[in-house]
Amino acid sequence: MLRRFLCFALILCLLASYAVAEETQSAEPTAEISAGSLYNGMEDGDGESDVADLQSALISLGLLTGNADGHFGDATETAVLLFQQMYGLAETGVADAETLAALSTAQTGVAEIQERLIAVGLSSGTPDGVLGEATETAIATFQQMYGLEATGVADPETRELLFSESNLIFSIQTKLIELAYLSGVADGILGPATETAILEFQQMHGLEATGVADPATRELLLGGGTELTIKPTPTPSPRANGAQGSDIELAQQRLSEWGFLEGTVDGKYGDDTEDAVQEFKTYQYEDYQAYLEANPTPTPEPTIAPTLAPTATPTPGEDPRVIDATLEPTASPTPAPTPYAPDGEITDSMLEYLKEDNFTVYRETVRNGDTGREVERVQRRLHQLNYLYSVDGTFGDLTENSLKYFQRKNGLDQTGVADESTQTLLFSANALEGEEYVFPYKLVVDISDRRVYVYRWTGESYGERIDTFTCCVGAPKTPTPLGTFQGSGPAGGRWYYFKDFNCYAQYAWRIQGGILFHSVTYSRPNENSGGSTRSLGRAESHGCVRLTVSNAKWIYDNCPVGTTVIVQE
Backbone angles phi, psi at 66, to 5 degrees: 90, -155
State the architecture of 441-568 in CATH terms: Beta Barrel (2.40)
Answer whether 385's CB lies under 8 Å from 401's CB: no
Q: Which of 471, 472, 518, 559 is catalytic?
A: 518
- For domain 169-231, give the CATH superfamily: PGBD-like superfamily/PGBD (1.10.101.10)
pTM assigned to the model: 0.56
pLDDT number for residue 10: 47
Q: How far apart are CA 251 and CA 352, in angstroms?
A: 10
3 state SS of 368 = coil
Domains in the chain: boundaries: 50-105, 110-162, 169-231, 360-438, 441-568
pLDDT number for residue 25: 37
Strands (E), 201-313: none
DSSP lists the bridge partners of residue 546 as: 472, 518
Q: How far apart are CA 166 and CA 164, in angstroms?
A: 7
| CATH topology match: 50-105 vs 169-231 | yes
Q: Which of 471, 472, 544, 559 is catalytic?
A: 544
Q: How far apart are CA 55 and CA 59, in angstroms?
A: 6
State the architecture of 360-438 in CATH terms: Orthogonal Bundle (1.10)
Compute the Cα dihedral for 487, 490, 492, 497 and give only its sign: positive
Known catalytic residue at 559: no
| Top-level class of domain 50-105 | mainly alpha
Residue 503's Cα: distance from chain center in Å?
Answer: 38
Residues in the chain predicted with pLDDT less than 50, given as ranges, are 1-3, 5-8, 10-30
CA–CA–CA angle 398, 403, 406 (5° rounding): 130
Q: How many beta carbons lie within 10 A of that of residue 516, not counting itself?
A: 24
pLDDT number for residue 471: 96
Compute the Cα dihedral for 211, 212, 218, 220 and give only its sign: negative
Of all helices (H) and strands (E), which one includes residue 21?
A: helix 2-27
How would you list the strands of the sheet with 483-486, edge to edge? 464-470, 451-456, 441-446, 564-568, 483-486
pLDDT number for residue 306: 63
Chain segment 277-298, per-residue pLDDT in tens: 999 999 988 888 888 888 887 7
Q: How many beta carbons lie within 10 A of that of residue 465, not counting itself?
A: 12
3 state SS of 66 = coil
Known catalytic residue at 518: yes
Answer whether 419's CB lies under 8 Å from 365's CB: yes
DSSP labels, 87-114: TT----S-B-HHHHHHHHH----HHHHH
